[in-house]
Amino acid sequence: MRVHFAHRSAARQKGATLVIALLVLVLIMMIGITAVSTSNTQYKLAGNLQFEDAAMNNAETAVATAEKWLATGTNYSNPGFVTYDATNSPHLLPSGSANNPLSLTWSDSNSLSVSSSAQRYQIQLMSTNNLLTGSSAAVGRQAMAVCNKVNTYLITGRGTSSRGAAKLVQSYYSVLSCPAS
């Protein structure tokens, strides 16, 4: 009788092994689905960071272009800094202009495009003829005239990426306000 009893329990266990094997396979499949989902999310996050970096690079390029424009020739004394002129110089703002770059709709009527619409900037005059810190008219040489006054500007650059990420960069920039001799 023992042989017959052992044969019955072996037959019952074959079904339980099949169920346990199926449960293990389902568990492994769920772990695989979770891994694929997590890797897709990380891929999207990395892509978003690349687009944000592109927008930041575009904003920094716009600011550098504006700084270069201010430092060239007599651009620092452009009449657009005295009276706002949306037609000729929409990117130049007089001192005291109310300008909030966060709520601004950046367009050709209020900013200048650098090389594409992804790079735009504005320049606002903040102050004129400020004495440089630590300087005086003499600076140790009584007979020589020294340029020691600057105009200060607030440059706001806006960069966007192909997916719509937008970044703003602001920079204070000073230019000597004495005429070149």
Predicted TM-score (pTM) above 0.75:
no
pLDDT (tens digit, 9 = 90+) per residue, 126-138? Answer: 999 888 776 555 4
Q: Which two tokens stand for residue 178?
A: 């004495």
CA dihedral defined by 105, 111, 114, 120, rounded to 10 degrees? -40
Mean pLDDT comparison of 18-27, 91-100, 111-120, highest-scoring range = 18-27
pLDDT exceeds cutoff 70 at 124: yes
Among candidate residues 27, 93, 63, 80, the one with its CA nearest the CA of residue 158: 63
Map out the domains of the chain as residue ranges: 2-176
In this structure, the chain runs to a length of: 181
62 Cβ partners below 8 Å, 6+ apart?
A: 114, 119, 120, 121, 157, 158, 159, 169
Look at residue 2 in the predicted model and tell me its pLDDT. 52
Look at residue 95 in the predicted model and tell me its pLDDT. 87
Look at residue 116 in the predicted model and tell me its pLDDT. 77
pLDDT exceeds cutoff 60 at 6: no
Cβ neighbours around 9 below 10 Å, total: 8
pLDDT exceeds cutoff 90 at 45: no
CB-count burial class (<10 Å; 0-12, 13-18, 19+) for 60: middle
